[in-house]
C-alpha cells in the first residue's frame, strides 16, 4: 500500500503518488473490461491488456496479484455497472413496464452496433467458457445473472399489476427465460455482425408474454 507523504500533502486532497496509483489501476481495469467483453477470459492474455495501456507487467501484479483476482474484480465491476444501466431503463416510471424492456433492448442493440458487434456481455462471455475458468468464478457469475433476473422480474411484476401481462404469469421464470435467450442473441449478433438476432429475440420475448 502507498501512503501519503503528510509533510507535502494538503488535507483533503490525494497525494500525487496515490492519485497515480489509482489512475493506473483504473486504466488496467478499463482495458481488462474492453478485452473481456471482446474475447472472454481464457483468450485474453495479460500481455495484450498491458500493451493496450503501456503498463509494465510488474505493475499489474502489484495491483492484482493474479489473473484470477483481476478477473474476479472485473466481474464485480461489470455487474455493478450493468445493474445501474438496467435500473436506468427498468425503473423509468415515465414509461409503461414493457416499454422499459423494449427501451433496454434497443439501447443494448445500439451499443453493440457502436462497437461493430465486437463487444458482448462480459458475464455471458465468461459463462460460455466456464469449463476453462477458475471455479471461484462460478458462484460469482450465477449471482450476477440472478441479480439481473430479479431486476427484470420486478419490472414484469409491474406489468402484471397494470394488466399488461396475465395475472398468472410467473415473472421470475419469465425473467430467467429472457436472460437465457438474450445472452444467446448477443453471441449470435457478435458472430454474424448483425442486430438481427437481438431484434428477433426481443420481438419473440415481448410478443410471447402471457396476456
pLDDT digits (tens, 9 = 90+) for 61-89: 888 888 889 989 999 999 999 999 999 99
Which of 5-19, 49-63, 159-173 has the least mean pLDDT?
A: 5-19
The set of residues, in sequence order, having a beta carbon less than 8 Å from that of 169 and lying 6+ positions away, is 156, 160, 209, 210
pLDDT confidence band for 21 (50 / 70 / 90): low
Which of 61-75, 153-167, 189-203 has the least mean pLDDT?
A: 61-75
Q: State percent of the chain over pLDDT 70.
A: 89
Q: Is 60 exceeded by the pLDDT of residue 2?
A: no
pTM of the model: 0.82
> Domain 16-207's class?
mainly alpha
Domain ranges of the chain: 16-207
Q: Which residue has the higher pLDDT, 57 or 202?
A: 202
Asked if 71 contacts 132 with a C-beta cutoff of 8 angstroms, the reply is: no
Q: Is 60 exceeded by the pLDDT of residue 193?
A: yes
Amino acid at each position: 500500500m502507498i501512503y501519503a507523504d503528510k509533510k507535502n500533502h494538503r488535507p483533503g486532497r490525494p497525494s500525487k503518488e496515490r492519485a497515480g496509483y489509482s489512475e493506473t489501476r483504473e486504466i488496467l481495469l478499463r482495458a481488462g473490461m474492453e478485452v473481456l467483453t471482446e474475447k472472454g477470459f481464457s483468450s485474453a492474455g495479460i500481455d495484450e491488456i498491458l500493451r493496450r495501456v503501456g503498463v509494465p507487467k510488474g505493475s499489474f501484479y502489484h495491483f492484482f496479484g493474479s489473473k484470477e483476482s483481476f478477473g474476479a474484480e472485473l466481474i464485480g465491476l461489470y455487474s455493478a455497472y450493468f445493474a445501474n444501466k438496467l435500473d436506468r431503463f427498468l425503473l423509468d416510471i415515465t414509461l409503461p413496464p414493457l416499454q422499459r424492456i423494449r427501451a433496454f433492448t434497443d439501447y443494448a442493440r445500439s451499443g453493440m452496433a457502436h462497437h461493430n458487434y465486437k463487444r458482448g456481455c462480459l458475464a455471458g462471455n465468461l459463462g460460455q467458457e466456464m469449463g476453462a475458468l477458475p471455479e471461484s468464478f462460478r458462484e460469482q457469475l450465477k449471482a450476477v445473472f440472478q441479480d439481473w433476473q430479479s431486476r427484470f422480474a420486478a419490472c414484469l411484476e409491474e406489468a402484471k399489476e397494470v394488466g399488461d401481462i396475465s395475472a398468472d404469469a410467473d415473472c421470475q421464470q419469465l425473467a430467467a427465460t429472457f436472460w437465457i435467450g438474450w445472452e444467446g442473441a448477443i453471441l449470435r449478433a457478435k458472430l454474424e455482425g448483425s442486430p438481427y438476432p437481438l431484434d428477433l429475440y426481443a420481438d419473440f420475448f415481448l410478443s410471447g408474454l402471457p396476456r
